[in-house]
Amino acid sequence: RNILEQWKKEDWFQNLKNEWKNEEHMYKEKNDKLQENILNEEEKHSIVSQKDIWRKWISKQANLIDIFNKEDWFKSMVYAQDKEKDNYHINEYNNVTVTTETQLKNEKPNHEYSRSKGIIQKFMVQIHMMVLEECIKEEIIKQKELCIDNFIEDIHTQNNYDEKRNVPQCNTDNFNVLKYDEIHTSKNK
């Protein structure tokens, strides 16, 4: 997990996260246009639509495996993971009955290839899940900030309303205003 956390600081991870956000945004825009045409309502973002977007995006990311396989850091990660004895908790060689030496030679590269492929798939799933996790965290933070801003705005609005309500009203009924003629005659006297 520590290695995965370090990946979050890498440029490729940020690029992948931005690609996911763009994919999600494009999907929402398409869906919003459809919703406007059909129901003329806002789309409610649900887990089902999130899964749908996720599946489509992952299928587009297949070329990422090829790119990562060429990177030295990824090769070293796969190699290190492959060397861990308890990676899959199964030692398949103990369960294989081999009758000839050539079968053993053929089985070993196939096993190593499928083990390496499994590790790569595991890493790719972890990478993409981290991207999704980070985006969800950012969205939650954004929603919290928006909620707090709205709450503060409501409090401010309420305070302004209360201040206006507490301003004493002038009662002009008991106020005698002299007319111009009365003022003028009182000066001449």
What is the DSSP code string of 74-122? HHHHHHHHHH-TTSSS--GGGG----SHHHHHHHHHHHHHHHHHHHHHH
User: 177-189, pLDDT tens digit by residue?
Assistant: 555 555 555 555 5
3-state per-residue secondary structure call for 124-186: HHHHHHHHHHHHHHHHHHHHHHHHHHHHHHHHHHHHHHHHHHHCCCCCCCCCCCCCHHHHHHH
Number of folded domains that form the chain: 1
- Residue 126's domain comprises 2-21+63-151
> Residue 171 above 70 pLDDT?
no
Q: Is residue 41 part of a domain?
A: no
Q: pLDDT band for 145, please (50, 70, 90 cuts).
A: very high
Q: Is residue 120 part of a domain?
A: yes
Please give the DSSP secondary-structure letter assigned to residue 6. Answer: H
Q: Find the range with the poorest average confidence among 34-43, 62-71, 92-101, 114-123.
A: 92-101
Question: Nearest CA to 57 among 5, 105, 88, 18?
Answer: 18
**What residues contact 98, with CB distance under 8 A and at least 6 apart?**
104, 107
Q: Is residue 174 part of a domain?
A: no
> Residue 94 above 80 pLDDT?
no
> Residue 144 above 70 pLDDT?
yes
Q: Is residue 135 part of a domain?
A: yes
Q: Is residue 88 part of a domain?
A: yes
Please give the DSSP secondary-structure letter assigned to residue 10. Answer: S
User: 31-53, pLDDT tens digit by residue?
Assistant: 777 766 655 444 455 666 777 88
Residue 159 in tokens: 């305070």
Q: Is residue 54 part of a domain?
A: no
Q: For tokens 């499928």, what's the residue?
A: 114
Q: Which amino acid is at 40?
A: N
Q: Is residue 47 part of a domain?
A: no
Q: Is residue 113 part of a domain?
A: yes
pTM: 0.49
